[in-house]
Structure formats: C-alpha cells, structure tokens
Amino acid sequence: MENILSGMKSFRNILVHKYGEIDGELVFEDLSNLEDFEKFKEEILKFMKSK
C-alpha cells in the first residue's frame, strides 16, 4: 500500500507543479483505474474505526 500512496503523491505533485506539461491522455488513463483509490479509502476507514 505504501508504494501505491507514494505513486499517488508523485502523480499529484506532477499535476500541481508541472500542469502545463501534462499529457491529458495519460492522466485520463491513470484516473480510469480507480482501484487504488478504493484500496486507499478502505485503509482510511479501517484506521478510523480502530480509533
């Protein structure tokens, strides 16, 4: 899960800091696979329930 989050953080940084250089098709492809976001959401919910 840590590698997935690291990749998400890197992707976010590229979107924010290099927006003018972004290939819209690659962004769309990446956002088309929301499986990682679902896993992230599940981990957050587990953490919140444990507190």
Domains of the chain: which residue ranges?
Answer: 2-50
pLDDT of 28 over the 70 cut: yes
Within the chain, residue ranges assigned H as helices are 2-17, 24-32, 35-50
What pLDDT was estimated at residue 26? 77
Please give the average per-residue pLDDT across 9-36, as a whole number. Answer: 78
Please give the average per-residue pLDDT across 38-44, as a whole number. Answer: 86
CB atoms within 10 A of CB 12: 10
